[in-house]
């Protein structure tokens, strides 16, 4: 496994209301950086982050996902927050 210095690690949290495009944005990150060879589709149940049977059936994210991406010698962890995740409310309430 490749090791990264702390200056080469980025964490990105995608947080918004439901059906805003968080999953598809994460799919675009994966595809653009070469982590996947194709864009997953929610309607097909082929996204990298929604893999549980109920998520595929309901076509929504039910749990938070972390997707690792490498781009230009930088490790990027894309975190997709599920709808209604309490941590989002706690972090954004002061703003």
Does residue 32 contact residue 58 with C-beta atoms inside 8 Å? Answer: no
Q: Which residue has the tokens 């703003």?
A: 95
Predicted TM-score of the model (pTM): 0.78
Q: State mean pLDDT over 69-88.
A: 80
* SS3 call for 40: coil
Domains of the chain as residue ranges with CATH: 6-92 (3.40.50.300)
Beta strand segments in the chain, E: 9-14, 65-71, 74-80
When pLDDT is cut at 50, 70 and 90, the band that residue 18 belongs to is confident
* Residues 29-38 pLDDT 10s: 999 999 999 9
């Amino acid at each position: 496994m490749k090791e990264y210095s702390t200056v080469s690690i980025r964490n990105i949290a995608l947080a918004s209301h439901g059906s805003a495009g968080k999953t598809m944005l994460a799919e675009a990150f994966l595809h653009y950086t070469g982590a996947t060879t194709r864009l997953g589709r929610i309607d097909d149940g082929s996204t990298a982050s929604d893999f549980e049977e109920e998520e595929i059936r309901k076509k929504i994210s039910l749990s938070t996902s972390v997707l690792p991406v490498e781009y230009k010698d930088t490790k990027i962890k894309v975190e997709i927050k599920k709808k209604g995740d309490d941590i989002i409310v706690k972090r954004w309430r002061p703003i």
